[in-house]
Amino acid sequence: MKNKGIIGSIIALAIVLIGVFAYQMGTRQTTASSTDDKKIKTVGILQYVSHSSLDQIKKGVIAGLKEEGYTEGDNLKIKFLNGQGDQSKLNSMSQQLLDKKSDVLVGIATPAAKALANATTDTPIIMGAISDPVGSGLVKDLKNPGGNVTGVNNLTPVAQQIDMAKELFPNAKTMGIVYSSSEENSKSQVETAEQNAKAAGYAVKKFAISSSNDLSAVTQQACQESDFLYIPQDNTIASAFQTLISESDKAKTPVFVSVDNMVKEGGIATVGQNQYKLGVETGKMAADVLDGKAKPADTPVNVIDYGDMIINEEKAKELGITIPDSIKEKAEVVKGE
């Protein structure tokens, strides 16, 4: 009888142990399944160079991803690299981001986006505010990109900018354009600005720099030969903008810029696009690809072709320029930094 009791106890204990083991295995499987459902995605971001405009775009990209449910440290890993204006670094960094198994790549500024596109035709690439995607060879068509690249096209509202400049400087005769000869995005905008300025009755003089080392001397010359300066979206100039402003202030020459934050940095005015918001739109497009909702080949480029009037009234007073009421009524007034 005792033996039967002992055997019964052993069988009961075995049943209990088997039940516990089965429960634990089920829990592990459920946890593993849950982990798979919340698979961490990786976004590789490559930025051309550091300056306030591109830095704002990067912040916007991260915010846009978060708005769509991708939070760094939770279900998202962000691998960020900055080429600091060095093309050879951009090429090697593109490969590094591919080696990190990025699910989506984001290129901030044309050189960065092109470096990524040259590195892969498979991994999805989202352009972070590129001014001329077709001209730079990143996409075949804005409505039907056709490859592994799509994103945001910040089409600068040049015509509105020249109209605003005409209101600000009605007696000016010559507009000087300072730009970098090595930047495709800048040269494209220069052509459009020249056409619009001539149509508005301005004579146009163009002053190209080959690197930021030329900026001081070229700005001095441009100020001597122009009534005001026009600066396109140009990364080389943006990264050394205070050098330009230092020279233009000495000459008392107003600088009309193309980017919103450059008004705060010493420009007199613009019809500009908010760089942070451009980044947010870029991040949202990246999230759609991560979700499987969109493929670059079939996703039209998001063309943003409008901007807001922004004026630096303090700078205008420094230069002895009166802002017309017609502009004050429509524009955002900012103070210099």
Q: Read out DSSP for 164-229?
A: HHHHH-TT--EEEEEEETT-HHHHHHHHHHHHHHHHTT-EEEEEEESSGGGHHHHHHHHHHH-SEE
Q: Which of 182, 304, 193 is nearest to 256 (CA)?
A: 193
What pLDDT does residue 7 have? 56
Residue type for position 17: L
**Distance of alpha carbon 13 from alpha carbon 5, whole angstroms:** 12
Confidence check: pLDDT of 252 > 90: yes
Is the pTM above the cut of 0.85?
no
What pLDDT does residue 6 have? 55
List, for residues 40-73, the tens digit of each pLDDT value.
Answer: 999 999 999 999 999 999 999 999 999 999 999 9
What pLDDT does residue 2 have? 45
Q: Compute the average pLDDT of residues 233-254.
A: 96
What pLDDT does residue 289 have? 97
List, for residues 322-333, the tens digit of each pLDDT value.
Answer: 999 989 899 999
Q: Radius of gyration (Cα) for the chain, nearest Å?
A: 27
What pLDDT does residue 334 have? 87
List, for residues 132-151, the tens digit of each pLDDT value.
Answer: 999 999 999 999 999 999 99
What pLDDT does residue 39 have? 86
Confidence check: pLDDT of 26 > 60: no
Quick check: 304 and 234 in contact, CB under 8 A?
no
